[in-house]
Structure 1
Amino acid sequence: MADQPKPATATADRVHATVGGDRLELIESGTERIETLLQIIAEAKESVRILFYIFDSDDSGRRVRDALVEAAGRGATVHLLVDGFGCSTAEPDFFKPLKDAGGDFCVFNPRYGSRYLVRNHQKLVVADDRVGLIGGANIQDSYLTDEGDKRWRDLWLRIEGPAMASAGEYFDSVFRWTKRKTAKLRQLRRIVARHTQHRGVLQWKFSGPLSRKHSWPAALSREMSGAKEIGIIAAYFSPPWSVMRRLGRIARGGGKVQIITASKSDNTATIGAARHTYSRLLRRGIEMFEYRPAKLHTKLAIVDDVVHIGSANLDFRSLYINLEIMLRIDDANFAASMRRYFDGERADSEQITLALHRKRATLWRRFKWTVSHWLVTSMDYTVTKRLNFNEG
Structure 2
Amino acid sequence: MHTLKFAVVVAFCLVTETGCATLPDTDALIERHTGQAARFENARGSLSTGKSAAILAELKRKSGDIDILEKQIVLEQAITGSPLILGNKVTLLRDGAETYAAMFAAIRKARDHINLESYIIEDDDIGRQFADVLLEQQGRGVQVNVIYDSFGALNTPKAFFERLTDGGINVLEFNPLNPLTVKKAWLIDNRDHRKLLVVDGKIAFVGGINISSVYSSGSIPRRSARPLRPEAGKAVPWRDIHLQIEGPVVGELQKLFMETWEKQRGQPLAAKDYFPTLEAQGKDIVRAIGSTPDDPYSLIYLTLISAIGNAEKYVHITQAYFVPDPQLLQALTDAAGRGVEVKMILPGHSDSEIVFHAGRSHYSTLLKAGVKIYERRGQLLHSKTVFIDGVWSCVGSTNLDWRSFLDNDEINAVILGREFAQQMQAMFTKNLEASEAIDLERWERRSPMLRIKEWGSRLLERLL
- TM-score normalised by length of structure 2: 0.71
Distance, in Å, in 2 between the alignment partners of 1:212 and 1:251 is: 29
User: What's 2:207 paired with?
Assistant: 135
Match of residue 357 from structure 2: 272
2:456 to 353, 362, 371: 371
Question: Structure 1: any 5+ residue segments left out of the alignment?
Answer: 8-18, 182-199, 381-392
1:30 touches 1:146 (CA, 8 Å); kept in 2? Answer: no
Moved more, 211-220 or 83-92: 211-220
Q: What is the 5 A alignment of 1:107-256?
A: 107-110=173-176, 115-145=187-217, 148-179=234-265, 201-209=285-293, 213-228=297-312, 229-256=314-341
Number of corresponding residues:
349
Which amino acid in the other structure matches residue 145 of structure 2?
H
Cα deviations across residues 345-367 of structure 1 (Å, max 9, x unaligned)? 1111000010121122x233212
Between the aligned partners of 2:426 and 2:442, the Cα distance in structure 1 is: 26
Q: Map Cα deviations across residues 9-46 of structure 1 (whole Å, 9 max, x no partner).
A: xxxxxxxxxx9311111112222222211111111110
The two structures, once aligned, show a CA RMSD in angstroms of: 2.3
In structure 2, what is the Cα distance between the partners aligned to 1:66 and 1:180? 23
> Secondary structure of the equivalent of 1:89?
coil
1:76 aligns with 2:161: no
Question: Which stretch has the larger CA shift, 140-149 or 29-38?
Answer: 140-149
Please give the alpha-carbon distance, in whole angstroms, between the structure 2 residues aligned to 1:172 and 1:82. 14
CA contact (8 A) 1:135 1:311 kept: yes
More strand as a share of residues: 1
Matches within 5 A, 1:1-40: 20-40=86-106
Deviating runs (4+, > 4 A) in structure 1? 1-7, 110-114
- What is the identity, as a one-letter code, of the residue corresponding to 1:266? D
CA contact (8 A) 2:148 2:172 kept: yes
Deviation by residue 1:200-233 (Cα, 9 ceiling, x = unmatched): 9311112221666232211211121121210001
Give the Cα–Cα distance (whole angstroms) in 1 for the partners of residues 370 and 161 of structure 2.
Answer: 50
Going from structure 1 to structure 2, the CA distance change for 1:239 and 1:211 (only over 3 Å counts) comes to: farther
Q: Report if aligned partners of 2:256, 2:290 keep a CA contact under 8 Å in 1.
A: no
Deviation at 1:281, TM superposition (A): 0.3
Shift of 1:114: 6.6
CA separation of 1:114/1:281 partners in 2, compared to 1, >3 Å: closer, same or farther?
farther
Aligned to 1:387: none
Does the alignment pair 1:297 with 2:369?
Answer: no
- Percent identity of the aligned residues? 30
Contact 2:91/2:243 (<8 A) preserved: yes
Query: Partners of 2:101 and 2:167 in 1: how far apart?
Result: 22
Q: Output one character per residue of 1:302-336: Cα deviation in whole Å (capped at 9) or x when no partner.
A: 12221110000011111121110011111122112
Q: CA deviation at 1:180?
A: 5.7
Counterpart contact for 1:28–1:156, Cα < 8 Å:
yes
Asked whether the equivalents of residues 212 and 320 of structure 1 are also in contact (C-alpha less than 8 Å), the reply is no
Contact 1:233 1:299 in 2 (8 A): yes
Q: How does 1:55-74 map to 2 (within 5 A)?
A: 55-74=121-140
Ranges in structure 2 where 5+ consecutive residues have no aligned partner: 1-40, 44-54, 63-84, 180-184, 220-233, 268-283
TM-score (norm: length of structure 1): 0.84
Match of 1:358 in 2: 444
- The one-letter amino acid of 1:179's match is R
Contact 2:107 2:114 in 1 (8 A): yes
Output one character per residue of 1:59-97: Cα deviation in whole Å (capped at 9) or x when no partner. 110000111001111111110000001111112211223
What per-residue deviation string (whole Å, max 9, x for no partner) do you get for residues 105-154 of structure 1?
Answer: 01013466871111111000000111121111111110223674242110
In structure 2, what is the equivalent of residue 340 of structure 1? Answer: 426
Q: Is the 8 A contact 2:396 2:412 kept in 1?
A: yes
1:326 and 2:412 aligned: yes
Contact 2:86/2:248 (8 A) holds in 1: no
State the partner residue of 2:29: none
- Matching residue's letter, 1:67: V
Moved more, 272-281 or 30-39: 30-39
Conserved? CA contact 2:88–2:285, under 8 Å: no
Deviation string, structure 1 residues 274-313 (Cα, Å, up to 9, x no partner): 1101000000110000000111110001122211100000
Aligned partner letter, 1:201: I
